[in-house]
Structure 1
Amino acid sequence: MRSLQEQFTNLSKNNKALLAVNFYNFETLSAILKAAAAQNTGIILQSTKSTIDYLGLEVTAKLARAAINQYKVDAWLHLDHAKDTDLIKKALDAGYDSVMIDASEQPIANNRKVTRQVVEMAKPYGANVEAELGYIAKLGQSKEKAAFTQPDEAQQFVEFTGVDALAVAIGSAHGFYDKEPNLDIELLSQIQECTPAALVLHGGSGIPDHQIQAAIQNGIRKINVATEVKNGFMNTLRDQLPKSDEIDLRKVFPTAINHVQNLLEEKISMVNKA
C-alpha cells in the first residue's frame, strides 16, 4: 500500500480528498472501517492522546492494524493533535503512518521550530507529518476569535519545516457549531497556490456539504470528523437503552455501530462526489 504522502499526491492530481475519522473503541473503529469498505474507499483512522490514555498505545495501534486487516480496507493510522514530542516518538515506534504536532497555540516561531523537529524525527519512519497554522477553535474555546491562516505565512511555514500536511484556519472549528460556519474558500484557494503541502480541514462535523465540496475543489485533501461520530453513537445508545432490558453488550452496541456506519457512508459518498 502506498504511503499517506503518496496518497495525498494522488489526491492532489485528481482534486479529491480523504475522510479522516477519530475512533474511541472497537465499536467506533469497526463502524469507520465498515463504512469505508462499503464505499470501497481509503480512510484515515485517527486517535488522540485521550484515546491512547484510555486504550493504551499498544492496544490502540494493534487494534487498528488488526481491524484494517480484517476489513481489508486501505487505511492509514494517524495521531491527531499531539502536543508532546515524546508521545509522537512512541507513536512512530508503534507503527503509526502519520502524526500531527499541534503547536498552533504557541508563537509562530515556536510552532515552526517544533514542527521542523518532528519532521526530522519522522523521516526514518517514512511517516507523514501534519501541523496546524492559525486559530481553529477547540472544544471550549471561543469561536468568535479570528486568526485565519495567511498564504505568505503558510508558504514560509511549509518551506521552513518541510511538513507534509497543513491544517489551515479558514472558518471551521472543533466540536459543535453555534451557527452555520462560513468557510473562506477564496483564502483557501490562495493558500493552495502558495504551498505544495496537503491542506487539512479540521472541524468537519457540521459543515454544510456544499462548503466541504468547494473546499476540496480548492485544495483540501484531508477532512477531519470526530464530533458527529461521538454524538451519533451516544445519542443512539441513549435512545435504545431505555427500551431494552438486554445486558449483553454485544447485542446493545450494533445499533449504534450501524448508525455511525450509515452516517460515514453518506459523508464519504459526498466527499467522493466533490
Structure 2
Amino acid sequence: MTLQEKFNELEQKNSALLATNFYNFETVTGILQAVKTLGMPIILQASPSTIDYLGVNMTVALARSSLEKHEVEGWLHLDHAHSFSLIQQCLDAGFDSVMIDASEKSFEENVEITSKVTELAKNYGANVEAELGYVAKLGQAQQKEDGFTKPEEAKKFEEQTGINALAVAIGSAHGFYTSEPKLDLDRLQEIDNVTECALVLHGGSGIPKNQVQEGIRRGIRKINVATEIKDIFMSTLQADLRDNDEIDLRKVFPPAIHKVDELVQSKLMIIKSLHN
C-alpha cells in the first residue's frame, strides 16, 4: 500500500499515522519495538541532517531492514528537505515520501518549488508533503496568528501544486514549548473543509493529548514527533553514564532504547485510544 493510499484509508476512518524521526540503529529499534507491541503502522522520518550523518543508502537500508525485522507496516519519509537534488537522491534510493519545505519563501515561490517536486515524484509514485504558513523551527520565535495557514491559501496551494499532504501552521512549533501550545482547531477544520490532501501536524512533541485527538477529528492525518525522541534517548544515556565505567555499547544503549519504546507507545496510544 502506498502512503497516499494509506492516507485515503485514514480519511475514511478519521484516524492518523504517527511519524517519528530516527537517527541511528538504537532509535529506530526503540520506535519499531513500540510499533510491534501495539500492532500499528508508522512513518519513519529522516531529516537532511540524519542523511548527512548516515548517508542516503545507509538510511534506506537501516529503515527497510528494521521494518522487515520487526514485521511492521511502515513507510520511509524525507523530512524538511530544502534541496531538489537531495529529494531526487532520496527518491532514487527508494524513499516512499518526501517533504519539500519552501514555507519561508513567498507563496508564489513555494508553489513554484513544490510543483517541481510533485512533478518529479510522479515518476516514482511517491507521496509529496509541503508546508504552508509559519511553523517555528528550533531557535525561532513562536508563531503568531498572522503566520497561521489561511484556508483559502491552502486550497489554492493544493490546486496549484498537486501535493498529497500539507503541513499546516495552527499553533504548533518544532522543538520544546516554553508554555502549553493552544492549537487553532477551528482554523484546522476550515482548512480541512476546503482541501483534499492529508493534513500534517508538525511539532507534535509536547502537544497535549486532548488537542492532538481533536486535531485528528478535524482532519490531521500525520503527526510528527522528533524532539522528544532525541531528548529521552540522550537524557537516559547521559544519566546512565554519569557514574558508569561500562565500555560495552551493547550494554549501555538498551535502557535508552527502552525509553524510546515507552515514549513512542504513549504517542501511538493517543491515536489508538481515540477509536476505543
Is 1:155–1:195's contact at 8 Å kept on the other side of the alignment? yes
Looking at structure 2, the residues matched to 204 and 258 of structure 1 have their Cα atoms a distance apart, in angstroms, of 20
Against the structure 1 CA distance between its residues 144 and 120, is the aligned structure 2 distance closer, same or farther, given a 3 Å change threshold?
closer
Separation in structure 1 between the aligned mates of residue 143 and residue 75 of structure 2, nearest angstrom: 33
Task: Tell me how large the CA RMSD over aligned residues is.
Answer: 0.7
| Aligned pairs (5 A) from 1:88-237 | 88-146=87-145, 147-237=147-237
- Contact between 1:17 and 1:272, CA under 8 Å: does it hold in 2? no
Deviation at 1:233, TM superposition (A): 0.4
Instruction: Report how far residue 126 of structure 1 moved.
Output: 0.4
**Cα separation, partners in 2 of 1:196 and 1:22, compared to 1, 3 Å:** same
Aligned amino acid, residue 233 of structure 1: F
1:69 paired residue number: 68
In 1, Cα distance between equivalents of 2:273 and 2:217: 11
TM-score of the pair, normalised by structure 2: 0.98
Cα shift at 1:243: 3.1
Question: What letter is aligned with 1:89?
Answer: Q
SS of equivalent residue, structure 1 residue 273? helix
Look up the match of 2:272. 272
Deviation at 1:144, TM superposition (A): 4.4
**Partner SS state of residue 253, structure 2:** helix
* CA distance, structure 1, for counterparts of residue 144 and residue 197 of structure 2: 25
Residue 257 (structure 2) aligns with:
257
Structure 2: which amino acid aligns with 1:193? N
Query: What are the superposed Cα offsets for residues 42-75 of structure 1, whole Å, 9 maximum, x if unpaired?
Result: 0000000000000111101111111111011101
Give the equivalent residue in structure 2 for 1:46: 45
> Deviation above 3 Å: which 4+ runs of structure 1?
none
Q: Write the deviation string for residues 205-224 of structure 1: whole angstroms up to 9, x where unpaired.
A: 00000000000000000000
Instruction: Answer yes or no: is the 8 Å Cα contact 1:76–1:97 preserved in 2.
Output: yes
Identity %: 57
Provide the rounded CA distance (Å) in 2 between the counterparts of 1:143 and 1:252: 36
Query: In the aligned structure 1, how far is the partner of 2:175 from the partner of 2:225?
Result: 9
Is the contact made by 2:134 and 2:143 (CA closer than 8 Å) also made in structure 1?
no
**Which ranges of structure 2 fall in alignment gaps of 5 or more residues?**
none
Shift of 1:112: 0.5
Q: What letter matches 1:12 in structure 2? A: E
1:11 equivalent in structure 2: 10
State the Cα deviation string for residues 66-95 of structure 1 (Å, max 9, x = none): 111101110100000000000000000000
Q: What is residue 58 of structure 1 aligned with on the other side? A: 57
How far did residue 145 of structure 1 move? 3.8
Residue type of the partner of 1:200? V
- Structure 1 unmatched runs, 5+: none
CA distance in 1, matches of 2:226, 2:272: 19
Checking the alignment, whether the CA contact within 8 Å between 2:180 and 2:207 is kept in structure 1 is yes
Question: Following the alignment from structure 1 to structure 2, what is the Cα–Cα distance between the partners of residues 114 and 150?
Answer: 19
Provide the rounded CA distance (Å) in 2 between the counterparts of 1:15 and 1:38: 22
1:246 alignment counterpart: 246
Find the counterpart in structure 2 of residue 84 from structure 1: 83
3-state SS of paired residue (1:115): helix
Kindly indicate whether the alpha-carbon contact (under 8 Å) linking 1:205 and 1:226 is maintained by their aligned counterparts in 2. Answer: yes
